[in-house]
Amino acid sequence: MYEAEVIVDAIFGAGLSRMLDAPTQALLHKLNAFDGLKLACDLPTGVGGDGQLMPLAFEADVTVTMGALKESLYLDESKDAIGEIRCVDLGVSRTVYEMPNDTFVLESSDLRLPTRTASSTHKGSFGHAAVFCGEKEGAGIIAATAASRFGAGLTTLVVHEHLSPPPFLMHATVVPSNASALAIGMGLGGHFEREFLERYVVQSHLPIVLDADVFHSELLLQILAQKEREVVITPHPKEFCAMWERLTGEKLGVDTVQKHRFEVVRRFNEKYPHVTLLLKGATMLIMQEERLYINPLGSAKLSKGGSGDVLSGLIVALLAQGYTGIDAAIQGSLTLTTAANRYEGSSYAMLPTDIIDEVARLEII
C-alpha cells in the first residue's frame, strides 16, 4: 500500500470512448493502491463517456465534475468508481453548460414528509390503503406496515384466507368500499382468482402501485393502458425485462437494462407516458410524462429482501393521502433511501422493519 494524503486522477475526463492501454491500466493499479483521499476530475479514468465501466477504473472517493452534471455519472455499474459527485464551475456560469431539459437529480433536501399540521382531523382524513397479501404473506404485511407508518389513516390487508396480522392492520377478503389506493404484487403468486382480480383491481379506478409478481401477469399489466388512473410501477431490472417482453415481445437481458438504464426508461415512457415508472437499483430512476428524476442516494444496506416491499408501502400510503403518482414515487424513494442511510447498525444487518422504524424518526432532527 502506497501512502499519500490526496490522489488526483486527471488522466482522462468525459468523452473517453476507447479501451485503456496497458501503461494506463498499470498506472491505475498504482493509483488505486494508494491509501488516501482519491479525487477524479470530471469522470474517473476507466469510466467511459457513456458511464459504462471498463475492466479497470480509478476508484474515486469523490468525482468533481466540471460545468454541469452528466447522466453518465449515474449508472449503477460505475457508482462505486465514481463515489460522491460534486459539480463545480469553471469560472463561467453553469447556464452556458446546462441546456434546458427534463432530467433532474434529487437531493436529500427534496424530501417532503406527509407531516400533519391540522388539528381537526380523523383517520378518514388521511386515506385508506388496501394492500393485497398473497402467497408470501410476509411481503404484504411489510408493505402494509410501511403504509401505516407513513401516514395512511387506515391500512387493510386484502387476504384470501384468515391470517393474524399486526393489530394496527385490518384485513378483509375484498377491497374495502372506502379504500383510496391499492398496492398489489408483493409476494402475490397465484393466490387470487382471475375474476377477483378483474373486479377489484383491473376494473377499479383507484390509484395503484404495481410491483413484483404483477410484471409476470398479462391480466394485471392491462392496467398500464388505463390513462385516467394514477399508476405507479416499481420493477427491479429483471422484473422490467419480464414486463417488457410481455408488453412488446422484445427480449431484454438484465445486463442490457443496466448498461442502458436511461434509454430503457425513456423507451417505456414513450409507450406509457401517463404511468409513473420507478426502476429500482443503486440509483433509482423515476419517470412520467417525459420528466425523469434521478435518486442517487441508495446504499448497499437496501440490498436485502423486503426493502422493495417497504418502498411499495410508502408509495401507496402517499397515493392514499392524495399524492399524484409521480410525487408519491419521488417522495417514497427519498424516504426509503434517507431512512436506510440513517440506520446506524452494521451495513449488512438492516431489516425491512428497521427501515420502517427509521421512517418514524425522520422528523426528529
* Domain ranges within the chain, ordered by starting residue: 2-99, 110-360
Q: Is the pLDDT of residue 21 over 60?
A: yes
pLDDT of residue 190: 87
- State the CB neighbour count (10 A cutoff) for residue 115: 8
Residues contacting 229, CB < 8 A, separation 6+: 205, 206, 207, 208, 223
Q: Which residue has the cell 477524479?
A: 40
Percent of the chain topping pLDDT 70: 97
pLDDT of residue 112: 96
- Average pLDDT on 57-71 reads 90
Query: What is the pLDDT confidence band of residue 201, given thresholds at 50, 70 and 90?
Result: very high
DSSP reduced 3-state for 128: strand
The radius of gyration computed from the CA coordinates of the chain, to the nearest angstrom, equals 22
Query: What is the pLDDT confidence band of residue 211, given thresholds at 50, 70 and 90?
Result: very high
Q: Is the pLDDT of residue 117 over 70?
A: yes
pLDDT of residue 191: 82
pLDDT of residue 51: 84
Q: Is the pLDDT of residue 276 over 70?
A: yes
Q: Is the pLDDT of residue 162 over 80?
A: no
- State the average pLDDT for the chain: 92
pLDDT of residue 84: 95
Structure confidence by residue, pLDDT tens digits, 289-318: 999 999 999 999 999 999 999 999 999 999
Q: Is the pLDDT of residue 226 over 70?
A: yes
Whole-number Å distance between alpha carbons of 191 and 46: 48
Q: Is the pLDDT of residue 16 over 80?
A: no
- Average pLDDT on 131-159 reads 96
Q: Where are the beta strands (DSSP E) in the chain?
A: 2-9, 34-41, 62-66, 84-88, 103-105, 128-132, 154-158, 170-172, 181-184, 208-210, 231-233, 276-279, 284-288, 291-295
Whole-number Å distance between alpha carbons of 297 and 283: 7
Query: What is the pLDDT confidence band of residue 94, given thresholds at 50, 70 and 90?
Result: low
Give the neighbor-by-neighbor strand order of the sheet with 2-9. Answer: 2-9, 34-41, 62-66, 84-88
β-pair type (208-210, 181-184)? parallel
Question: Does CATH place domain 110-360 in 3.20.20.140?
Answer: no
Residues contacting 335, CB < 8 A, separation 6+: 111, 113, 150, 314, 359, 362
Q: Is the pLDDT of residue 15 over 70?
A: no
* CATH number at 2-99: 3.40.50.10260
Q: Residue 81, class by beta-carbon neighbours within 10 Å (0-12 exposed, 13-18 middle, 19+ buried)?
A: buried
Whole-number Å distance between alpha carbons of 361 and 336: 12
Closest CA to 337 of 292, 302, 305, 306: 302
45-49, 275-279, 284-288: lowest mean pLDDT where? 45-49
User: Which segments of 254-295 does DSSP mark as H helices, in order?
Assistant: 254-259, 261-271
- Average pLDDT on 267-283 reads 98
Q: pTM for the full model?
A: 0.94
Whole-number Å distance between alpha carbons of 332 and 110: 11
Whole-number Å distance between alpha carbons of 69 and 73: 8
